[in-house]
Amino acid sequence: MTSVLNSIGSRHSPTRISDEVLVGRLAAGDSGAFDEIFERYHQQIYNFVKKQVSDAESVEDLVQEVFLRVYKSAHNFDVEKKFSSWIYKIALNEVKRHWKRSASRQTYSLNTPLGDEGGDTERADLLEDQRITPDVLTENEIFSKNLRHLIDRLPEKQRMVVMLKVYQDLTFEEIAEICECPLSTVLSRMRYAVNKLRRWLGIEEQEERDEA
Amino acid sequence: MDCKKIQQVIYRFIYGESNTVELRRIKAHLENCSSCQEERLIIEEILVQLKTDATAAQEDCPECVKDRMLDGIKRKIG
């Protein structure tokens, strides 16, 4: 159980140069530091962006924008903060900007079958529609227990916490920094999200009183 | 620590992010509260399922895409 949930610890070797030191070197003009940062983070950022944006070309553009911002803003990085939180915050902002530009939230890689013929716009409209509730889930959806599908039906803020926690293995404190909200809010969003998933999956839950 | 408070901090506990004091209090509560212990096990089960699905959904960034992105960045940097 613990090994499945706590995979983040295995990502970092205690002997390698820290991300924070690397970004300091980048700020001092060491281009080799940028290559190392890209090497360490391109996979995670690529996966994160890919789960939010549908077309491959936009994914690549956005990932490039994220690393360009890292390059250009390295001197602004607060060395007291975690680099991973900083780069994910940049990535999240880039994704949000993209959503605004395209006026739709896109979730290609989650393969959400909200309508076989539905494109991203239709899907985004459905997802943003507050009238979409668990009641509209079909029996097949429930029985298939397709969690990725269900995650995509969560309210945006709750969905983002789940994505950053489960898919990106970040700590709740990192997520609080990225989402710019208190830790208690992140924990509430996680709890409400999991409780919704339980409800949709038909698993009994403790009573909820309010929403995050 | 009561059951309501446990609900607020259980996720930090499950992911091993509780501080020492919180950890001790949660453990003490769980040892004496079968309801919260059962709740914890259900949550863990869901989280494991979520993690399993997430792992299955992870896609490696193809080398050619990685190279293309890095080239693009370096071109923009100049």
Q: Do B44 and A5 touch (CB under 8 A)?
A: yes
Residue of B nearest to A67 (CA): B73
A28 part of a folded domain: yes
> Between A122 and A60, whose confidence is greater?
A60
pTM comes to 0.76
| CATH number, residue A55 | 1.10.1740.10
Q: Provide mean pLDDT across the span B30-35.
A: 94
Predicted confidence (pLDDT) per residue in A150-209, tens digit: 888 899 999 999 999 999 999 999 999 999 999 999 999 999 999 999 888 877 665 554
Task: Please tell me the predicted confidence (pLDDT) of residue A12.
Answer: 53
ipTM: 0.90
Q: Indicate if the pLDDT at residue A140 is higher than 50.
A: no
A51 part of a folded domain: yes
A74 part of a folded domain: yes
Predicted confidence (pLDDT) per residue in B42-54, tens digit: 999 999 988 888 8
* CA–CA dist B48, A1 (Å, integer): 7
A192 part of a folded domain: no
**Is A42 an interface residue toward B (CB < 8 Å)?**
yes
Minimum-distance CB partner of B48 among A5, A68, A145: A5
Task: Please tell me the predicted confidence (pLDDT) of residue B78.
Answer: 78
- List the domain boundaries for chain B: 3-77
Task: Please tell me the predicted confidence (pLDDT) of residue A114.
Answer: 36
Q: Give ∠ CA A173-A70-B62 in degrees, rounded to 5.
A: 90
Q: Do A194 and B8 touch (CB under 8 A)?
A: no
**Is B73 an interface residue toward A (CB < 8 Å)?**
yes
Q: Indicate if the pLDDT at residue B61 is higher than 80.
A: yes
A47 part of a folded domain: yes
Q: Please, where are the H alpha helices in chain B?
A: 3-14, 20-32, 34-57, 63-77
* CA–CA dist A124, B6 (Å, integer): 35
Contact present, B40 and A153 (Cβ < 8 Å): no
What residues make up the domain containing A38? 17-102
The number of distinct structural domains making up chain A is: 1
